[in-house]
Amino acid sequence: MPGTVWFVGAGPGDPELITVKGRKLLEAAGAVLFAGSLVDRAATLFTPEGCEIRDSKEMTLDEMTDWLIDAARRHGTVVRLQTGDPGLYGALIEMTRPLSAAGIAWAVVPGVSSAMASMAAAGETLTLPEVTQTVILTRVAGRTPMPPGEDLEALAAHKTTLCIYLSITLLHKVQEALIAAGWAEDAPMLVVQKASWPGEEKIVRGTLADIKRKCQAEKIASQAMIVASPTLGAADWTDLARSKLYDPTFSHRFRKASVTTENTK
């Protein structure tokens, strides 16, 4: 019987941010196909001696699926190691369809996305009570066009947290779209390059008006997350709405209110 191909999210860059399950699969793998230099350390740190390891950066999609099918016919555990999470801006479905057609079992192990890693690195939060409760993960149209209704200006009109992937070279388009959507030029912006990468992470804070200039000064032109959010800088705000879940006047099934609303007036 052929083995199973596991699509494992390696996380944003730090090998220690791979999940425990993902690491265990690497430790048991007979073959690993990893995504370029972005996750090579995880591939080489945790795989056993004798594991067949291949870098996919020069391979076409057909070549990758053929390699995985061949490996699964020779090994019980095969890992396709991808950056971030396999289901976000990856070719997951494009690779799993040929596997299914060939009778190869496959499964997915999620990973930490660079959006979460970037906010963690900067000490920021994606959501805040009474500020925004919505996070939009998107990108600017490049060689891959955006579907109707998903252009950045339309999404930015919601004024929620925007985590913008794969767009650092199109930062001018991000600025144009947000301004057209009504964001102020002094709206806070965050750019994190290589979030979580030991010794290589860069954090740039600015405004919608000056973030491109600041990124140019830091020579950031790849592997960067752009975040626009009304939550940015909240740690320094004078007033902040408190979470209802932890408010002493709020009851839930694990805790009864210790303070009444009248006592707080």
- What percentage of the chain carries pLDDT values higher than 70? 92
Q: Which residues of 129-161 are buried (b: 16+ CB within 10 A; e: fewer)?
A: eebbeebbebbbbeeeeeeeeebbeebbeebbb
Question: What is the Cα–Cα distance from 129 to 165, expressed in whole angstroms?
Answer: 25
Please indicate, yes or no, whether the overall pTM of this predicted structure exceeds 0.85: yes
Decide: 134 and 231 in contact? Cβ < 8 Å.
no
pLDDT at 36 over 80: yes
Q: What is the pLDDT of residue 226?
A: 98
More confident residue, 62 or 242: 62
pLDDT: which is higher, 128 or 253: 128
Q: Which domains does the chain have, with CATH numbers?
A: 4-109 (3.40.1010.10), 114-234 (3.30.950.10)
